[in-house]
Amino acid sequence: MRVRSLILRIVRQFFRDKRTLALMILAPLLILWLVALIFNGNTYHPKIGAVDIPRQIVTRLVNQGAVVESYSSNAAALNALSLQKLDAAISFADGVPHITLEGSNPSKSKTVLLLAQKVLLQPANPMPSQMQPPVIRYLYGSANMSSFDNFGPVLIGVFAFFFVFLIAGIAFLKERTTGTLERLMATPLRRWEMVAGYVVGYGIFTMIQACLIAWFSVGVLGMMMNGQFLYLLLVTLLLSMTALTLGTLLSAFANSEFQMMQFIPIVIVPQIFFSGLFSVDNMAPWMRRLSEIMPLYYGADALRNVMIRGKGFLAIWPDLCVLLAMSLVFMALNVFALRKYRKI
């Protein structure tokens, strides 16, 4: 009888907590759906730029599933390659095929090389049967680039974002549950001053964490670093600030640490799937558009541009502007979220 009473109490508790009940039912389905979209998508078709190559080779590439676009010069093809519009550019010089790979994604590079080997080295009329092996060049990265070098920048963004989001959210929640926030509300402090103070205060430790993550990744783990370390710090810091402001905002809608943890499968996990850790090229275009509302997408893109492609401020400033804008929007929403505690 006592066991029955305990069971009934737990059941009633779950039905009273609609958020927990919905999370248990819907969150696993959401994550499994995202996994299915990524791993059961369409076959990836490498994008190749062709510069004055024989028509027969172009036909073979298309028949093998490649998307081939013709360019009038090597400079135009390399420019498209640097903008990540192509996976590789193929040209001929003195009868020798030259393949320039974009190189920042090892899996895509291997796909292009296997395709080129199948097309260029396979004897078939009217192509000569003694074609020389292609000359391989890498625009970014190298033949020795590992998967860890490819995923490393994304992992830096994921861990920086996740821990700052969680710690900031729980810390701000504790300010409410212990009564500290209510006491501050009784002072002449305005809401925007309170939000700014919390963001700057937590931001000091966020900056320390961002510096440690960046230093440890490059200095200790030896991740590929072709750009300036200062830009790596800047991107990591802005991404962490976005996580900080988002975490403090969502903490206003949680009443306990457990409810704050419930935001992880809803807010963090989808961002990981769309951040570049998994290829979304096979997904439907409308699904890929979802990545454009996720801070991790912009942070990971900027980190890859700095660490793998060695680019500077001109390449990453759009991503930085988006992260900064998101941080300001979340701060403004924080100010409005505090209205339920005091109207000023």
Domain ranges of the chain: 47-138, 147-340
pLDDT digit string, tens, across residues 255-298: 777 778 778 888 888 888 888 777 766 666 777 777 788 899 89
Contacts 24+ apart (CB under 8 A), 274-281: 275/154, 275/157, 275/158, 275/299, 275/300, 276/154, 276/300, 276/301, 276/304, 277/151, 277/154, 277/155, 277/158, 278/38, 278/39, 279/38, 279/44, 279/105, 279/107, 280/38, 281/44
Give the pairing type, strands 88-93 and 67-71: unpaired
Residue 123: the pLDDT is 55
Provide the residue-wise pLDDT of the chain in tens; the chain has 344 residues. 667 777 777 677 666 766 666 667 777 777 777 777 666 666 678 888 888 888 888 888 888 888 888 888 888 888 888 888 888 888 887 778 888 888 888 888 888 888 887 877 665 544 444 557 788 888 887 777 777 888 888 888 888 888 888 888 888 888 777 776 667 666 666 777 777 777 787 778 888 888 888 888 888 888 888 889 999 989 998 998 899 889 888 887 877 777 787 788 888 888 888 887 777 666 667 777 777 888 998 998 999 999 888 888 888 999 999 999 999 999 888 878 776 654 44
Q: What SS3 class is residue 66?
A: coil
pTM summary value: 0.81
Omega cis (within 30) before 126 = yes
Residue 209 parent element (H or E): helix 191-215
Q: Let me know: does 295 contact 161? Beta carbons within 8 Å.
A: yes
Q: In what order do the strands lie in the sheet with 135-138?
A: 67-71, 47-51, 88-93, 96-101, 135-138
Residue 127: the pLDDT is 47
Q: Which CATH architecture has domain 47-138?
A: 3-Layer(aba) Sandwich (3.40)
